[in-house]
Amino acid sequence: MRRDIFQAIADPNRRAIIGLLASQKLTVNGVAEHFPISRPAVSRHIKILKECGLVVVRKQGRERYCELRLDRLNEVAEWVEQSRKEWNQRLDRLDEYLNELQKKEKKHGEK
């Protein structure tokens, strides 16, 4: 199944996990302690966050710590800028087209 960053943040539990990891790195158990949901459920959410590239798990001694990659969230803003530019270019053309169309209609009317 395809994962994207938008899916990562669509779930309230995952948003809460991101919020938690924003200030500290934690083990899966450490994350689970903060939530009323079961540890396997927390594991599943962390797996999804990993697949979306938002969380990396690093081994430190005998523990495995979850770390947040906030830079990935910032990347999302990039498509917004690109889309905005494209829409403005299209709408410039729509504007020109509407003007041309009305000029033609006027000419026809005068004949």
Partner 1 sequence: MAKSNMAGEQGKQEVLITRLFDAPRALVWQAWTDPKHFMLWWGPKEYTCPFCEMDLRVGGKYLNCMRSPEGKEYWGTGVFREIIPMERLVFTDSFADEQGNVVAATYYGMGPDFPLEMLVTITFEDQEGRTKMTLRHIGLPAGPDTEGTHQGWSESFDKLAESLK
| 59 touches partner 1 (CB under 8 A) | no
Contact with partner 1 (CB under 8 A) among 24, 29, 60, 99: 99
| 33 touches partner 1 (CB under 8 A) | no
| 64 touches partner 1 (CB under 8 A) | no
Instruction: Report the distance separating Cα 66 and Cα 43, nearest Å.
Output: 11
| 10 touches partner 1 (CB under 8 A) | yes
Which one of the spans 32-40, 58-66, 97-105 is the region binding partner 1 (CB under 8 A)?
A: 97-105
Residue 101 gets which letter from DSSP?
A: H
Contact with partner 1 (CB under 8 A) among 36, 59, 74, 110: 74
* Token pair listed for 92: 């410039």
Q: CB atoms < 10 A from the CB of 54, how many?
A: 24
Bridge partners, residue 64, by sequence: 59
Nearest to 50 by CA among 10, 86, 14: 14
Q: How far is the CB of 40 from partner 1 (least distance, A)?
A: 18
